Structure 1
Amino acid sequence: NRRDTISRDEFLEFTKSVWRFPPESAKRVNHPAPFPDELPYRCIQLYTFKGDVVLDPFVGSGTTSTAAIKTERHFIGIDINEEYIKIAKERINQCLREFSQRRLTEFSISNQ
């Protein structure tokens, strides 16, 4: 029942020993240390299946959570910084609107 969600070409590209992609702008996501969307996207595609749960214990700006939405995974995001939780929620809600995947709205971002 669990099928691969990446093509052969994507798998070969994702399993190279060095990944190269442009950095993420701190201003764009309002976080001092964001990482590119492609980083969690590749990891999620390689190591999980559709419908799996992705846990991000340091949700920050929500990059991993938005990658989970885009790859049809559920997610749990945790952070102790209230400001980052607010930023992550905004980005997650925007992503949900863009991708119209209302069935994935079961998420939790907590500072506890």
Structure 2
Amino acid sequence: MTIESNALQSRLRVLLGLQGAELTDEELSHTADCYPQCQGTGRWDVRQYVRRTGLGAREYRVVRGSSAQDVYRSPERARADAVGAALNELEAEERSGIVPATLEEELWPKKRR
């Protein structure tokens, strides 16, 4: 199953809100755009990288498995952790078929015949 970009943003916003985290519309859009490019079955994890320029020496990236492709970057570890946890929860719900009834059709619209 593939999750539509707008539905992914909506569901991520809800799951992040449950964790007390909030992303900007731009951050949610970027994450939803990058998500399809990061295929796989492994869990999402947060990795710490050293920045070459700019404020702060660290950047936290949400990645899957051994991939270098990230879906989200932040100078704040807590925000990156929240995104990783939300993506893991979203995919766990998708695999188990446990999706809130109000979001089921929005997340996974039935194929038109």
TM-score, normalised relative to structure 2: 0.30
Pick 1 or 2: higher relative contact order, CA cutoff 8 A, min separation 6. 2
Q: Whose strand fraction is larger, Structure 1's or Structure 2's?
A: 2
